[in-house]
Amino acid sequence: MKLLGFSCGRKMGNTETLVKEALMGAEEVGVEVEIVRLLDMDIRPCRFCKVCMRRLEGPEACVIKDDGAFLYNCVMDCDGLILGTPVYALDRPGLLHPVLKHF
């Protein structure tokens, strides 16, 4: 079983610390874990050109060459997902909006 943790906060900030604690708890019971820091990723918004839907290659066929295909493959390969994000003005950070569009 594989568990993936997304951290949308600052490096070594409260959000990342909490995600790491949750992953360490899962690792203690034998789960394979991985953490991805979204602030280190290059994620650009979707242009809705639908090229990836018309071709059979999937997200690798996207005309936007960013880390979206990598994130998509990470999520599809894992069995569970922990999403850690700070809350700004009762909404998620702007960085998370294009990430969620990939799914």
70 lies in some domain: yes
Chain segment 11-35, per-residue pLDDT in tens: 889 999 999 999 999 999 999 999 9
Domain encompassing residue 6: 2-98
> What values do phi and psi take at 60, rounded to 5?
-70, -20
Confidence (pLDDT) at 24 = 96
Confidence (pLDDT) at 56 = 65
Q: What is the CATH number of the domain that holds 90?
A: 3.40.50.360
Q: Which amino acid type is present at position 53?
A: M
Confidence (pLDDT) at 101 = 63
103 lies in some domain: no
CA–CA separation, 68 vs 59, rounded Å?
A: 8
83 lies in some domain: yes
20 lies in some domain: yes
The total number of structural domains that make up the chain = 1
pLDDT band at 7 (very low <50, low <70, confident <90, very high): very high
The whole-model pTM stands at 0.77
pLDDT of 60 over the 80 cut? no
